[in-house]
Amino acid sequence: MSQERDLHRALLRPAVIYTLRAAGFHSTKPTVLDTLTDLAERYLSLLASTTAAYTASSPLPREANLTDVRLALTDCGAIRPVAASAAEEAWAERLRGPAQPDLPRKQQEEDKADLRGVRDFIQWFDGPQFAEARRIAGMPVPSGDDFLCALRKKFAKTGDESRLVGTVLGREMEKKEEGEQRPPDILVSEWRPKNGGDAVPS
């Protein structure tokens, strides 16, 4: 267990270094770095255990889903909790009086408000802070095209799509016609050395 934990800490350490560099800290003492790495390790462990606890509290056996992760992120303070969740607002509406005809529309608005923290968290990844962290870490800036689209465009420009024939990116291979001749199959046991070791069929 100790070796596994040391490995995880060693893998987490560069991420903490690059996060510090993105925040403007270009040097630090090793003890400070170890402390921050330990804090990050404990935080990720807390986040994982909280997600597992929300998954285990479900009445049906299932795998963790986005709702469990969102609740864990809210509990751990990564995203801001909204004033009241959609379920709490629906319960308050029921207690106030008779149901109103536009309750489904209100429910949709409340559900959108419930995901406000998640949307803010996703926007952080699209924002300038995360872009700066990626730049400092030496990671490529994501472009609109993925690897396969870029590869396909590259071969489309050169006009050499023959390398892609028979793959997912290219067209299908042309089937051989029935009349084509192919050499007969020869077994390895039918080959024998002749005149200085050259192998020829008998």
Q: Is residue 86 a part of any domain in this protein?
A: no
Q: Is residue 26 a part of any domain in this protein?
A: yes
pLDDT at 59 (0 to 100): 84
- pTM for the structure as a whole: 0.50
Q: Is residue 52 a part of any domain in this protein?
A: yes
Q: Is residue 165 a part of any domain in this protein?
A: no
* Regions of the chain where pLDDT drops below 70: 1, 82-115, 140-147, 155, 158-164, 168-171, 173-202
pLDDT tens track for 145-166:
666 777 777 767 766 666 667 7
> Exposed (0-12), middle (13-18) or buried (19+): which is 14, by Cβ within 10 Å?
exposed
Q: Is residue 144 a part of any domain in this protein?
A: no
Q: Read off the CATH number of the domain in which 26 is found.
A: 1.10.20.10
Q: Is residue 60 a part of any domain in this protein?
A: yes
Q: Which of 114, 109, 106 is nearest to 71 (CA)?
A: 114
CB 22 within 8 A of CB 137: yes
Q: Is residue 156 a part of any domain in this protein?
A: no
Residue 157 DSSP one-character state: H
Instruction: Tell me the C-alpha distance between 128 and 7, whole Å.
Output: 31
pLDDT at 8 (0 to 100): 86
Q: Which two tokens stand for residue 182?
A: 């192919």
pLDDT at 134 (0 to 100): 76
Q: Is residue 33 a part of any domain in this protein?
A: yes
**Number of separate domains in the chain:** 1
pLDDT at 123 (0 to 100): 81
Structural domain range at position 9? 1-78
pLDDT at 96 (0 to 100): 60
Residues sharing a CB contact under 8 Å with residue 3, sequence separation 6 or more, in sequence order: none
